[in-house]
Structure 1
Amino acid sequence: MKNFVSLIIGIAIGAIAMYLYCTDDAEAANALGFTAPNGIIKAKGARTLDKAYNLKHSIINDSLFKKSTNGGDNRSSWWSVKDIQNYINYAENQAGELGYTMDGLRVYLGSYPDTKGQTGLTTMFFIPTGNKITSEGSILPTFQGGGTDIPGADGLNRGGHGQPPGANYPQ
């Protein structure tokens, strides 16, 4: 009987320990069981980052756009959830065809070329990242690191810009 009680207590302690170990952040897990991904910031943190970027943006905007009437250079890009979900599916499939396992997305800042005397606006685009598939059937995990751009993979661009383009967070 003493061993049985010890077993039950051990199982209960183990279950509690596993629950605490597997729960990243009590605030992040809501009633539906969603867990917040790494890197979540609160709105206040987003405002801090946006304000810190103001000096860099004003240097770029003032030197290139000379008080333009179109609202200046882009500060943000927007994609629909459907477009991002479709892109992730597309990129995972293409990564597999290219011999890679996709592990994430990298966001790059870019700029459209100057055309017809107008300065090209800043844009942001996604590129899939991953690891080369090196073996099949291995039971040992590969510790290659991750997050390298997948050569030849298509990116996602053409997000909508802010209203006006130079608008700060939040819009």
Structure 2
Amino acid sequence: MKNLIYIILGAIIGALLTYYFCPRPLEDDGPIKIVKPKGVITVDKAKELNENWTLYRKAAVDSAAQKQGREQDDRSTYWDLDEIENYLAFAKNQSDSLGYQMTGIRVYLGVYGKNAGQTKKDLTTMFIVPTGRKSKASSLNLNFRGNDEDVPGGNPLNDGAGGQGGYPN
């Protein structure tokens, strides 16, 4: 009889501990708060920046494309939203496995080389690189620069759809 009491008492204590220490789904706090990111500009400012690019860079950039028999070079790149979301999840995971905390992305301009095939040969491309800081768990270095570095070994995203029109299309 005494053993039965201990078994029942143990089951009750186990149930209470399980209740208090097992994670539970978070309560729904209502709609997600949307915050306007720093750096968002007006459509008019974007048009001005695009017009400045056209004024100061288009002739030089397009001259390289004309050498390849193309009228103009790409001036924008498009990635599908699913591709971007998948890439961000992939890059966060990869950065973590490389000992970095991913804190952002950097967009680079590049040029395909002579071996890229006729449709891309010597033309402009853009690619995204994960940036971050060395994880504190893997390094005692403190980063006071404020400028996060490209994650060494982090795979960039390329192969977006090139665009030739100015902003807006």
Matches within 5 A, 1:88-127: 88-115=88-115, 119-127=121-129
> What is the TM-score with the length of structure 1 in the denominator?
0.69
Q: Cα distance, 1:107 vs. partner?
A: 0.2
Q: Which residue of 2 aligns with 1:128?
A: 130
> What is the TM-score with the length of structure 2 in the denominator?
0.70
Say whether residues 1:147 and 2:145 are aligned partners: no
Tell me: CA distance 1:71–1:36, structure 2 relative to 1, closer, same or farther (3 Å).
farther
Corresponding residue pairs, total: 133
Q: Which runs of 5+ in 1 are unaligned?
A: 1-30
Q: Which residue of 1 aligns with 2:58?
A: 57
1:118-165 CA distances to partner (integer Å, 9 max, x unpaired)? 7421011000000001337x9xxx553242101010000001011xx2
Computed over aligned residues only, the root mean square deviation of the Cα atoms, in angstroms, reads 2.5
Tell me: CA distance 1:48–1:67, structure 2 relative to 1, closer, same or farther (3 Å).
farther
Q: Which residue of 1 aligns with 2:162?
A: 161
User: Aligned equivalents of 1:88 and 1:117: distance in 2?
Assistant: 31
Tell me: CA distance 1:157–1:117, structure 2 relative to 1, closer, same or farther (3 Å).
closer
Q: Which residue of 2 aligns with 1:28?
A: none
Larger Rg: 2
Tell me: CA distance 1:112–1:75, structure 2 relative to 1, closer, same or farther (3 Å).
same
Tell me: CA distance 1:72–1:39, structure 2 relative to 1, closer, same or farther (3 Å).
same
Q: Cα distance, 1:82 vs. partner?
A: 0.6
Q: Secondary structure at the match of 2:137?
A: coil
Q: Which runs of 5+ in 2 are unaligned?
A: 1-30
Tell me: CA distance 1:112–1:135, structure 2 relative to 1, closer, same or farther (3 Å).
same
The structure 1 segments of at least 4 consecutive aligned residues displaced by more than 6 Å after TM superposition are none
Q: Cα distance, 1:111 vs. partner?
A: 0.8
Say whether residues 1:170 and 2:168 are aligned partners: yes
User: Aligned equivalents of 1:61 and 1:154: distance in 2?
Assistant: 29
Tell me: CA distance 1:91–1:132, structure 2 relative to 1, closer, same or farther (3 Å).
same
Q: Secondary structure at the match of 1:114?
A: coil
User: Aligned equivalents of 2:102 and 2:130: distance in 1?
Assistant: 7
Q: Cα distance, 1:113 vs. partner?
A: 0.6
Tell me: CA distance 1:48–1:134, structure 2 relative to 1, closer, same or farther (3 Å).
same
